[in-house]
């Protein structure tokens, strides 16, 4: 009987200790498939689980799937880097940080989770009528702008602010905003103060915002306009100019935008102009731009 039991025991499955597995045993191709379906922050979290995940999480083919379709354009236009000299993970990481370009008058960044494009354009990159005459406009320093200064209007009859840029964007719908404030902000003894003594004229007529988007093959393109009364004192407000669509990849759009109040029957003043903001249409700006 003892011999029979010994024979039977040799036919039993091995103990669990001999068949135990770990994350290191997962095939690399399986890990890569999983990672390609995750958001970048989730990939970084999984990379801390094991050496296998950490190794695969840095692979170019994983991060290339997270980069936007215009990333080659961004390498040249924004980062000014040659294509083959940097790992895709490093390119993604650099693009998710604010990237100054055009002599630091503009900034670009990717959303870390979605990989969508965001662009900010400073007041110094805009064409402002009368900006060279200090009787009307000047630039004032402030820590309330990512650029360290804003254009401030003392008083003028004719307000005309515009800008344009050529940029390749992925397919999708985008929105354009002007970021402005009635009043001049400053800090005294660590507290924020707003000077509104020079604010006047904005309640009489609305400000007109205009947007046009086209490319070399379509000069007419898309056009949209909107009008707003400026009536919020001492608060940075994003006034929406309008939306536009990019319907095909590798589309270098010519984007033009303006903010106009040209009724010369009265003067206007006390306006701070910070920047123009271009973002995906489904994004709701809720932070300091």
- Mention every residue, 6+ apart, whose C-beta is less than 8 A from residue 209: 178, 225, 226, 227, 228, 239, 240, 241, 242, 257, 258, 259, 260
What's the pLDDT at 107?
A: 98
What's the pLDDT at 216?
A: 59
What's the pLDDT at 9?
A: 40
pLDDT for 105-134, tens place per residue? 999 999 998 999 999 999 999 999 999 999
With a cut of 50, which residues of the chain have pLDDT below it? Answer: 1-13, 15-19, 287-289
Question: Top-level CATH class of 117-280?
Answer: mainly beta
Domain ranges of the chain: 117-280
């Amino acid at each position: 009987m003892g011999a029979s039991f010994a024979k039977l025991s040799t036919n039993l499955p091995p103990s669990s200790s001999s068949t135990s597995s770990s994350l290191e045993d997962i095939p690399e191709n399986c890990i890569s498939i999983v990672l390609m379906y995750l958001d970048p922050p989730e990939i970084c979290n999984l990379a801390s689980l094991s050496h296998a995940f950490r190794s695969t999480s840095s692979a170019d083919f994983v991060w290339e799937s997270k980069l936007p379709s215009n990333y080659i354009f961004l390498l040249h236009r924004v980062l000014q880097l040659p294509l083959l000299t940097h790992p895709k993970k490093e390119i993604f990481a650099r693009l998710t940080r604010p990237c100054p370009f055009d002599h630091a008058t503009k900034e670009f960044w990717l959303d870390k989770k979605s990989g969508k494009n965001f662009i900010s354009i400073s007041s110094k990159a805009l064409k402002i009528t009368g900006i060279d005459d200090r009787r009307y406009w000047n630039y004032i320093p402030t820590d309330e702008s990512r650029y360290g200064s804003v254009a401030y209007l003392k008083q003028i009859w004719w307000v005309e602010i515009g800008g344009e840029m050529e940029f390749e964007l992925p397919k999708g719908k985008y929105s354009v905003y002007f970021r402005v404030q009635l009043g001049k902000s400053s800090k005294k003894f660590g507290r924020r103060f707003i000077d509104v003594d020079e604010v006047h004229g904005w309640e009489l007529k609305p400000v007109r915002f205009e947007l046009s988007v086209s490319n070399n093959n379509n000069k007419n393109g898309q056009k949209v306009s909107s009008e707003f009364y400026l009536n919020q004192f001492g608060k940075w407000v994003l006034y929406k100019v309008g939306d536009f669509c990019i319907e095909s990849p590798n589309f270098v759009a010519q984007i033009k935008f303006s903010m106009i109040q040209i009724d010369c029957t009265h003067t206007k003043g006390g306006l701070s102009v910070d920047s123009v903001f271009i973002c995906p249409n489904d994004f709701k700006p809720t932070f300091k731009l």
